[in-house]
Chains A and B, each alone.
Chain A
Amino acid sequence: MVENNSANDLFYKETSILENSIEIVHNEKYRDNELLTEYKKLSKHYNTLLILTKKAFKISDTQSKNIKMRESEKKNLLDNSNQGFLTFASDLLVDREYSMECYRIFSRAIGNVNILELLFPDNEEQNKFCEEVLKAIFVSETIEMQRSLIAKLPSLVQVNDKHIEVKYKMISTEESEQDNNILMLILSDITEKRKVEDQVIYLSYHDKLTSLYNRAYVESILPQLQSEASLPLSIIMADMNGLKLTNDVFGHDSGDKLLINASKVFLSCCRQSDIVARWGGDEFFLILPGASSTVCAKICERIKDLCSKVEPDPIELSVSLGATTSENLNTNLTSLMTVAENAMYSNKLIESKRNREKIIFSVEKSLHQHCFEDIEHIDRIKRAVTRFSKVLKVQLDANAIETMMLLARFHDVGKAAIPRAILSKAGPLTQEEWHIMRSYTEIGYRMAQSIDEPVLAQAILAFREHWDGQGYPYGLKGEKIPLVTRIVSILEVYDVMTHGRPYKAKMRRDEAVEELKRCSASQFDPNLVLLFLNNLDYLVRSSDL
C-alpha cells in the first residue's frame, strides 16, 4: 500500500507514521476497537494523500528545473547580445528583469527606476514631452495610434557620454499585474560606431598629413560658396618650392615636415572663416569668403613674410602664390581657381631664379652644418678650378667652368642625407654603412636634377668613379667619366689630404703628392694628375695651405 520510491526519503516521517498505522490496523489486538473502521479509513486516505503529494512534488520539481534552465538560457542570450533590453508598464518604472548591457549603459541597477530619469536626467523639456507621449501610448486604442506615438519618441539618446540607439516595441502580456501591455526598449550602444563614422567623415574631407581640408571637401562646398554672402570671394593658390628636392635629398620625412610647416603658415595667416585646403602634392588652395583683393593681397604678403621667418628645416620654406578676387555672383568658382593657378605659375616663373638660389643656399647651409664641408675648403677648390682651367690644354667653355664651380660647391651635397654617425666614423664602415654611404652621389644627382642642372647632376653622380672602372656607382672607366668630374676630384682630394678632416689628420704636401701618384691611373686620370702635379705651385698657392 505504501509507495516505495526515493520520495520516501523526503517523507520518511510521514511514511513511518503511515506504516505504523497500517500495523495497527492489521493488529488483532485492536480488532474489536470501535474506532478501527474510521482509523482504517483515515490510514487509507492518508496513504492516498501521501502518494498524491509525492507525485505533485515530483512533477513540480521537474517543471521547476525546466523553467530555471530555460530562464538561465534566455538570460544568457540576452546578457550576451550586447544590447540592452528592458520593459516597463504605464507606471514608467523599469521592470525587475533586464539585460546586463542595461547595467553597463546606465552604470547602475535600473529595476524600479523611472525610465525618463534614466534616459533624460538633465533635459526637463524632453523629459516632459516623452512622459506625455509614453502615457498616451499606454492608453491608445489602436496599433496605428501606438505606432505613430512611438515614432515621436527619440531614436538616439546620450547616456553618460555614450550614444545609444533606442528602438521601441509594444508587447502584450498576461503576466503583468498592472497592464496588458508593456513597452520594451532595445538599446544599442553605437558610441564606437559613431566614432568610426566620424573619423571616416573626417578623413574623407581632411588631408591626413597636414589635417587641412582636402580636395574632396573643397569640391563639396563649392556650390555653397557660390552665393551673395560669400562675395567678394578671393582665392589664393599656393605652390611649394623645393619639395621634390627635399624629398630626393633629405627624404620624404623632411618633405612631409615642409608640407606641415607650410600648412601651419597658411592657417596662421588666414582668418577663421577661410578655407585652407591641400589640393594635392605640393599645391594648396586658400578660399577667402568675404575677402576683397586688398585683404587677399595682405594675406599673401603675410604668408611670404612668415615663410621667410620659419627656421629652415631642412631648406627655407618657400611658396609661389597666385591670387584672384571675384565680386560677381555669376563667376564660376572653378574658373576662378584656374585664374589663381595661372597667376601662381606666372609668379613662379618670375621668381624661379630667386627661388632656385634660395634652395641652393639652403642646401649648401645644410651641407655645411651637417657634413664636414667648410666654406674655405670649397673656396680653395673653386680657386683651383679657375686656375686649372687656364693650364688645361683643351679650352673649357664658360658652361663647363660654371659646372665645375657648382661641382666644387655641391660634389658632396648628397652627404646631407647620410647619417652623421656614418660620416664621422673613424674606423672602417660595416657593409650596411658602406651601402648607405655610397648612395650619396645618387642623392646628389637627384638634387641637381631637381634644380634643373642635368650636367651638374651627371658630374656629381660620377664623382666616385675611378679611372680604372673600379669606382661606383656604375664602374665608369676612363674618359667615360665627365672631364669636369675628373678635374674636380683631383683638386678636391688634394685639398682634403693637405687640410685634413675631423676623422683624419692632414698630410704633408710631399705625402699628398706621393699618394696622388700612387692613385694615378687607378683612381684618377693619369694625364690630369700629371698636369696637376706639374703646375702644383700655381694651382695651389701658398696662401691656400
Chain B
Amino acid sequence: METLYIEATKATPEVNFNPDTRTLSIKGQSYPENAFKYFEPLIKWLDEFVRQVKDGEKTQLELSLPYINTSSSKCIMMILEKSEEAVEKGKNIVVNWFYDEENESELECAMEFKEFADLEFNIIPNRQI
C-alpha cells in the first residue's frame, strides 16, 4: 500500500499513513465545511487498505483530535465502524487515541468513541504522534 499524506489546515487534521509501520495517523482539529467531502477519500482508501492487508498483520490507527465538530465525529465513527468490520473478518487493527492530559473533554470524547467501537481501543495520554 502506498503512503497517504494529507497536510493539516486550520480546520482539518493531518492524515498520514506510514506503510513501513502500517500506522495511519489522524492528528489535529477537525471542523471542515463539509466533513463527508473531506473524509470520503480517506474512507475509500481505508476500504482498499482493508482489502489488501493480510490477515493478522497488525495495523495501528492513531488518533489525536483536540477538537472535532459534530459531522467529523460521524465520519470518525464511520472509520471506526469500517475498522470493526475489518477485525470481524480477521484483520488485526488496533486503535490508539491520544489525548491532552490537561484537557478533560478530550478524554471524555475518547471514551465516548471507545464505547461506540468494538475493537482494541487504547486511550493514551499526551504523546506527540
Contacts and interface: CB of A to CB of B under 8 A. Distances in A.
B52 interface: no
Interface stretch (A57-65, A503-511, A517-525): A57-65
29 contacts: A6-B36, A9-B34, A9-B36, A9-B37, A9-B40, A10-B35, A10-B36, A10-B71, A10-B74, A10-B75, A11-B74, A13-B78, A56-B70, A57-B71, A60-B69, A60-B70, A61-B35, A64-B31, A64-B69, A64-B70, A65-B11, A65-B33, A65-B69, A68-B11, A68-B29, A68-B67, A72-B10, A96-B102, A111-B102
A112 interface: yes
Nearest to A13: B78
B128 interface: no
A65 B11 CA distance: 9
B103 interface: yes
Given A68-B11, A112-B102, A6 B34 contact: yes
Interface residues of A, number: 16
Nearest to A96: B102
B45 to A, nearest CB: 17
- B71, B74, B75 — which one has the most chain A CB atoms within 10 A of its CB? B71
Contacts of B31: 61, 64-65, 68
A446 to B, nearest CB: 73
Given A13-B78, A68-B31, A68-B67, 9 more contacts: A9-B40, A10-B35, A57-B71, A57-B74, A60-B70, A64-B70, A68-B29, A96-B103, A112-B102
Interface in B33-51: 33-37, 40
A9 B70 CA distance: 14
Nearest to A112: B102
A96 B11 CA distance: 21
Nearest to B39: A10
A96 B36 CA distance: 32
Interface in B4-42: 10-11, 29, 31, 33-37, 40
A72 B40 CA distance: 27
B52 to A, nearest CB: 23
Contacts of B34: 6, 9
A55 to B, nearest CB: 11
Given A6-B34, A10-B36, A61 B70 contact: yes
Contacts of B78: 13
Contacts of B11: 65, 68
Nearest to A60: B70
Interface string B62-106: 000001011100110010000000000000000000000011000
A197 to B, nearest CB: 39
Contacts of B10: 72
Nearest to B35: A10
5 closest A-B pairs by CB: A9-B36, A60-B70, A64-B69, A10-B36, A57-B70
A152 to B, nearest CB: 31
A9 to B, nearest CB: 4
B108 to A, nearest CB: 13
A11 B102 CA distance: 33
Nearest to B30: A64
A57 B31 CA distance: 12
Contacts of A65: 11, 31, 33, 69
Interface in A1-16: 6, 9-11, 13
Nearest to B81: A13
A10 B71 CA distance: 8
A61 B36 CA distance: 12
- B29, B33, B74 — which one has the most chain A CB atoms within 10 A of its CB? B74
Contacts of A57: 70-71, 74
A11 B36 CA distance: 9
Interface in A74-105: 96
A364 B30 CA distance: 87
A112 B103 CA distance: 11
Nearest to B33: A65
Contacts of B37: 9
A96 B102 CA distance: 8
A385 B110 CA distance: 111
Nearest to A8: B36
Interface in A27-64: 56-57, 60-61, 64
Contacts of B69: 60-61, 64-65
A108 to B, nearest CB: 15
B102 to A, nearest CB: 6
Contacts of A72: 10
- A57, A60, A64, A68 — which one has the most chain B CB atoms within 10 A of its CB? A64
A75 to B, nearest CB: 12
A90 B78 CA distance: 43
- A10, A56, A72, A96 — which one has the most chain B CB atoms within 10 A of its CB? A10
B78 to A, nearest CB: 8
A11 to B, nearest CB: 8
